Amino acid sequence: MGRGRPGARVGRPLAAAFRLGATYASLLLIGVPTLQAQTGGMDSAQPVDDVQELPLVVVLATGGTIASQYDPAVGALRPALTGAEIVAAVPGLEQVARVEVEEIANVGSKDMTPEIWRTLSLRANRLLADEAVAGVVVTHGTDTLEETAYFLDLTVTSRKPVVVVGSQRASSYFDSDGPRNMLNAVRVAVSAEAVGMGTLVVMNGQINAARDVTKTNTLDPETFRTLDFGALGVADMEAVRFYRAPTRRQTIPLREGDVLPRVEIVSQYAGADGRLIRLLLEDGRMEGLVIAGVGLGHVSRPAQDAIQEVRSQGIPVVLSTRVYTGRVVPLYASNIQLLEMGCVEADNLSPQKARVLLMLAMTRTSDPEELKPFFHR
């Protein structure tokens, strides 16, 4: 798949759809020419006459709300924009970087798959190995954005920035946040401070680490937050600034021939009897299991019995919690019994993040003792 430059200028309907968001994006540019760190030391006193002096960012487009518009014929949002159209609608982007676009997919992120994850990871690694490429931006729907971001954080080996971005408002809405988020994503992708930070999620002016960030609101533009520890930094009108660095990072590169295992998630709730766990076991396709426990990672007694059956067949089980913040901690006898069966604690990873990590860790081992270090790094 070759790299292609953004398409031609955007027509009137699309330009009108982006009007408010584009206006905000334009305001952000007030401080951009003075940001030496963001542009690889560009002299703020001189205009950029030669675009070849600007860093190159490649956008990998996958769809989502940022690529959607309202269709009155069906009364709902639908995929409508290419990555090139999204980029072309962001005013002033040409002052920050040279941008090339590749179309990877155009799906709502509810339909994101491990196969697309693999394609994104392999392509990002290949692009970042090119000295000419400063960073990669991935456009994505917000529903599963945090999972894709964490997968890339675990599998991209380059120290160059990878930024995942989306929007909560479609381009046809008067308050679309797509242009602002896109501009900020590119600003972060060319920031010297972002090097070595792993995959980052940039939304609503905040920079968050892929491992820790989660979607916290169904509609609010300020939805992606790191609840336990806070954002890494900000991308505001004046500058891109980092105030802390992620320390719980690791890399599990995809190797030729690696097959991602089928890992399921089962939630706990009042009255959970283990039936769903047994149904998955009887189905015969489950290769790994993540439990979204209650509290500290607790499960009901019937569920514990079902988990023991899973473990007796050598299937790895990871204990997470449906609680938004905090770690899984073995304070009660039932938790200790689960660990004695060979279950692995997810530390503070959400169930969906624990699933991503287990899928990749299982390309190396299925032994519980060997899996534990992956969840404690």
**Residues of each domain in the chain carrying CATH 3.40.50.40:** 263-375
At 11-40, the pLDDT tens digits run 334 444 444 455 455 555 544 543 333 433
Q: Among this protein's residues, is 65 annotated catalytic? A: yes
Q: What is the mean pLDDT of the chain?
A: 89
Catalytic one among 39, 62, 65, 144?
65
Span 336-359, average pLDDT: 98
Pick the residue with more confidence: 184 or 70?
Answer: 184
With 50 as the cut, is the pLDDT of residue 246 above it?
Answer: yes
**What confidence score (pLDDT) does residue 173 get?**
84
Q: Which CATH number fits domain 12-242: 3.30.310.50, 3.40.50.720, 3.30.1490.20, 3.40.50.1170?
A: 3.40.50.1170
**What confidence score (pLDDT) does residue 79 get?**
86
For 221-254, the DSSP string reads SS-EE-TTT--SEEE-SS-EEE-----S------
**Helix (H) / strand (E) containing 321:** strand 317-321
d(CA 56, CA 73): 39
At 302-328, the pLDDT tens digits run 999 999 999 999 999 999 999 999 999
* Residue where the block lists tokens 């989660």: 214
Long-range contacts of 203-208 (CB under 8 A, 24+ apart): 203/142, 203/165, 203/166, 203/167, 203/168, 203/177, 204/177, 205/180, 205/234, 205/235, 205/236, 206/231, 206/233, 206/234, 206/235, 207/231, 207/232, 207/233, 207/234, 207/235, 207/240, 207/242, 208/232
**What confidence score (pLDDT) does residue 221 get?**
94
**What confidence score (pLDDT) does residue 14 get?**
43
**What confidence score (pLDDT) does residue 171 get?**
84
Query: Using N-to-C axis directions, what is the helix angle for 333-340 and 301-312, rounded to 10°?
Result: 10
AA letter at 230: G
DSSP 3-state of 163: strand
Pick the residue with more confidence: 7 or 50?
Answer: 50
**What confidence score (pLDDT) does residue 76 get?**
93
**Residues of each domain in the chain carrying CATH 3.40.50.1170:** 12-242
H helices of the chain, where? 12-17, 19-28, 83-88, 114-128, 145-155, 178-189, 275-283, 301-312, 333-340, 351-361, 368-375
Confidence class of residue 9 from pLDDT cuts 50, 70 and 90? very low
DSSP-derived letter for residue 38 is: G
With 80 as the cut, is the pLDDT of residue 238 above it?
Answer: yes
Span 250-258, average pLDDT: 95
At 217-228, the pLDDT tens digits run 999 999 999 999
At 84-125, the pLDDT tens digits run 999 999 999 999 999 999 999 999 999 999 999 999 999 999
Burial class (CB in 10 A: 0-12, 13-18, 19+), 142: buried
**What confidence score (pLDDT) does residue 215 get?**
98
Pick the residue with more confidence: 85 or 47?
Answer: 85
Pick the residue with more confidence: 51 or 357?
Answer: 357
Pick the residue with more confidence: 365 or 17?
Answer: 365
**What confidence score (pLDDT) does residue 174 get?**
81
Span 274-302, average pLDDT: 98
Can you name the CATH fold of 263-375? Rossmann fold (3.40.50)
With 70 as the cut, is the pLDDT of residue 8 above it?
Answer: no
**What confidence score (pLDDT) does residue 175 get?**
86
Q: Indicate the pTM of the whole model.
A: 0.88
DSSP-derived letter for residue 54 is: S
* Residue where the block lists tokens 């070849």: 52
